[in-house]
Structure 1
Amino acid sequence: MVVKVLVVDDSSFFRRRVSEIITQDPLLTVIDTAQNGREAVEKAIALRPDVITMDIEMPIMDGISAVREIMAKSPTPILMFSSLTQDGAKATLDALDAGALDFLPKKFEDIARDKDEAVRLLQQRVKEISRKRFLLATSVRSKMPDTIVKASERSDLQRSSPASIPKRSGKVYQLVAIGTSTGGPVALQNVLTKLPGNFSHPILLIQHMPATFTAAFATRLNGLCQISVKEAEDGDLLRPGCAYLAPGGRQMMLEGRGTGVRIRIVDGNEKINYKPCVDITFASAAKAYSDKVLAIVLTGMGSDGRDGARLLKEQGSTIWAQDEASCVVYGMPQAVAKAGIASESLPLDRVAQRILMELGR
């Protein structure tokens, strides 16, 4: 089935450029374009596209307001285009909070080594998030009052019996590590905001994200969460109740053992696709903490995290993966699950609860 795309941007040049890239793929087609947020809302309702690409700064109605209205009236997977600035980072995070699923920089050279790679990446992102239209509709229905949605019609994701919840393993942990990519900002917010302020372990967060975004994202999480959240800095001593977000454009590693473990932030190998890379941080955690790591792979494209998770498992640590139904993109968790590395597959809404149970909270 061909994916129908609505392209929204106030620049006619950018609308044309994005449309040309999308239509190069035989599985994608641009059904229309819009030059402001108000047009986007009207055409989203009338045309029912499978995916919308959306600019943030537009006249009449901005992209964030448009996302919010579209998600309320006609839930559709939305891919934002953002500038890689601090203001752009904040606006993009606001758009993700409003319901957008993913984002890409407006300057394609910022996301790829060459033009062909940028084209493939945009096409791939559009196809991946198009698969989540049904999930968005289910999510909206799950938030309706009980008088509107009958209990029998609720998604299985919102239904869980005590018997289906695993029991605590009894293992001793010293670290929680979470890796994610596409859909990760919202997923991490879902998990971390449910943890208590006296959480007893340090947490490492590895989110594929540009360098200009991670500081803003850490600040946002810190304001929303009971635990402390900060962008990791070289030399940080890991302490309980604090989550350390790997800075974009660099690699986060650990040095030392036991209670004296510190974070090392390095540039890393230029040949590695991801900066930060989940595999690198997980592998470093395996050396520093051996069998005392609870590692979780959340939504994301690709397979980053699989090799690092394998090293952790070989040391005796515990690996969990987010389940397919609740992922924006079931790539990274699927890679871990298919390799037989994950001992549990969890819906996003139960990850925090399961962490607290496993740690004996």
Structure 2
Amino acid sequence: MKPIKVMIVDDSAVVRQVLASVLAADPAIEVLGTAADPLFALSKMEREWPDVIVLDVEMPRMDGITFLKKLMAERPTPVVICSTLTEKGASTTMQALAAGAVSIVTKPQVNLSKFLVNASDDLLGAVKAAARANMRQLAKSKTPVQPKLGADAVIPAGQPAMARTTERVVAIGTSTGGTQALEYILTALPRVCPGIVIVQHMPERFTAAFAERLNGLCQIEVLEARHGDRVIPGRALIAPGGRHMLLKRSGAQYLVEVVDGPPVSRHKPSVDVLFRSTARAAGANATGIIMTGMGDDGARGLREMYEAGAQTFGQDEASCVVYGMPKEAKKLGAVGREIALEQIPAQILRAERA
């Protein structure tokens, strides 16, 4: 197989050197070159176009988001954002993901030598997943921004309490390509929909900015989950980066526990953890959906949901950016039915009426 050709764009010479060293050490990857900003990168890329671009966000002359939008409009190319782990950077990076980046890898502000040891697997995995990304589907995942409604549009004054004691829960797991797919799904949902719990593989701190961004776009409420948050209709809870999220039942109500622990299926948060807890807490009252992503996290957990009587769905290959996680779940017999991304919002609404 031909090596994956990578261009690195970052204004820090030290970062460029470290990233190039990590990538060049893998025989499956060829570093075409490095550039201090997008304009330098474009001049080099005219000679030979890369398969994947590793891109910083804040740079001189042209910022990463402007460059990314230009790429997606003129020549869609898989992009991995390599961003510093800061609250300010998280918000900016969310804009980059919305513009079409495939995934995020965090780089440290200090002690870059540790990066070689601690994050090299993440970087290599992200680049290899990006090289297989379905860019046509990534572009299709965009959705127009919908207006933000006030609280009384969600819960009209004087509305009586729900008579049903056992509520439906929808559990979703996704990774590479999932930020765009989740935006498509959640912005399509009306304010009356089942409670949703989500694991999106994403570094610590970025999940808060991701949830905040979605909350500003959606009719439903979207939050980064906190320990003890209730799962209620019209609300989606996103597991915080660096922590696991479990569904628990208390009487007729559902809530989440946010806990520490080792990575499961090499991830924290892990889809397998969420799905297993959903199988135990909700059983046949749940719907499980596994979506675009690299690897097999969630496959075993979805199988447990299926065996507990839950409805289970896998995103189909044609609509995935990376058909990894749904494929592995299907191989285990965990997927009751495969559906396209465009069908998922309607399926979530059917879960409420089941």
Same fold flag (TM > 0.5): yes
> Which of residues 187, 190, 194 is equivalent to 1:193?
187
> Which of residues 341, 346, 360 is equivalent to 2:334?
341
Q: Which moved more, 1:14-23 or 1:174-183?
A: 14-23
Asked whether the 8 Å contact 1:230–1:244 carries over to 2, the reply is yes
Hey, what does 1:279 align to over in structure 2?
272
SS in 2 for 1:301: coil
2:140, 2:178 → 1: CA distance?
Answer: 22
| Corresponding position: 1:13 with 2:14 | yes
Hey, what does 1:183 align to over in structure 2?
177
Hey, what does 1:320 align to over in structure 2?
313
SS in 1 for 2:128: helix
C-alpha RMSD of the superposition:
2.7
Question: Shift in Å at residue 182 of structure 1?
Answer: 1.7
1:101, 1:64 → 2: CA distance?
Answer: 13
Question: Shift in Å at residue 273 of structure 1?
Answer: 3.2
Normalization by structure 1: what TM-score? 0.83
SS in 2 for 1:79: strand
Question: Number of residues paired by the alignment?
Answer: 330
Give a deviation string over 1:99-135, Cα, whole Å, max 9, x none. 1111101139999998456333322321221122xx3
Asked whether the 8 Å contact 1:41–1:66 carries over to 2, the reply is no
Question: Shift in Å at residue 18 of structure 1?
Answer: 1.4
2:251, 2:270 → 1: CA distance?
Answer: 23
1:336, 1:198 → 2: CA distance?
Answer: 29
Q: Which moved more, 1:173-182 or 1:58-67?
A: 173-182
Question: Shift in Å at residue 62 of structure 1?
Answer: 0.9
Give a deviation string over 1:240-276, Cα, whole Å, max 9, x none. 1111111222121233256322222222346773221
SS in 1 for 2:55: strand
The equivalences for 1:103-182 within 5 A come to 103-107=104-108, 115-116=116-117, 118-132=119-133, 135-137=134-136, 174-182=168-176
Describe the shift of the 1:109–1:126 C-alpha distance in structure 2 as closer, same or farther (beyond 3 A): farther
Question: Shift in Å at residue 45 of structure 1?
Answer: 4.9
Normalization by structure 2: what TM-score? 0.85
Hey, what does 2:53 align to over in structure 1?
52
Q: Which moved more, 1:112-121 or 1:63-72?
A: 112-121
1:110, 1:210 → 2: CA distance?
Answer: 18
> Which of residues 281, 289, 294 is equivalent to 1:288?
281
SS in 2 for 1:313: helix
1:61, 1:106 → 2: CA distance?
Answer: 20
Give a deviation string over 1:81-105, Cα, whole Å, max 9, x none. 1111111111111111111111101
Describe the shift of the 1:84–1:311 C-alpha distance in structure 2 as closer, same or farther (beyond 3 A): same
Q: Which moved more, 1:52-61 or 1:30-39?
A: 30-39
> Which of residues 244, 251, 256 is equivalent to 1:251?
244
1:332, 1:262 → 2: CA distance?
Answer: 26
SS in 2 for 1:290: helix
Q: Percent identity?
A: 42
1:275, 1:110 → 2: CA distance?
Answer: 23
Asked whether the 8 Å contact 1:37–1:65 carries over to 2, the reply is no
SS in 2 for 1:53: strand
1:46, 1:325 → 2: CA distance?
Answer: 32
1:349, 1:111 → 2: CA distance?
Answer: 41
1:311, 1:126 → 2: CA distance?
Answer: 31
Give a deviation string over 1:49-78, Cα, whole Å, max 9, x none. 111110111110011111111111111000
2:329, 2:110 → 1: CA distance?
Answer: 30
Question: Shift in Å at residue 220 of structure 1?
Answer: 0.8
Question: Shift in Å at residue 297 of structure 1?
Answer: 0.7
Asked whether the 8 Å contact 2:197–2:231 carries over to 1, the reply is no
Question: Shift in Å at residue 142 of structure 1?
Answer: 10
1:177, 1:240 → 2: CA distance?
Answer: 13
Unaligned runs of 5+ in 2: 143-165
Asked whether the 8 Å contact 2:287–2:351 carries over to 1, the reply is no
Describe the shift of the 1:237–1:17 C-alpha distance in structure 2 as closer, same or farther (beyond 3 A): closer
Unaligned runs of 5+ in 1: 144-171
Describe the shift of the 1:100–1:309 C-alpha distance in structure 2 as closer, same or farther (beyond 3 A): same
Q: Which moved more, 1:85-94 or 1:245-254?
A: 245-254
* Stretches of 4+ aligned residues off by more than 6 angstroms: 108-114
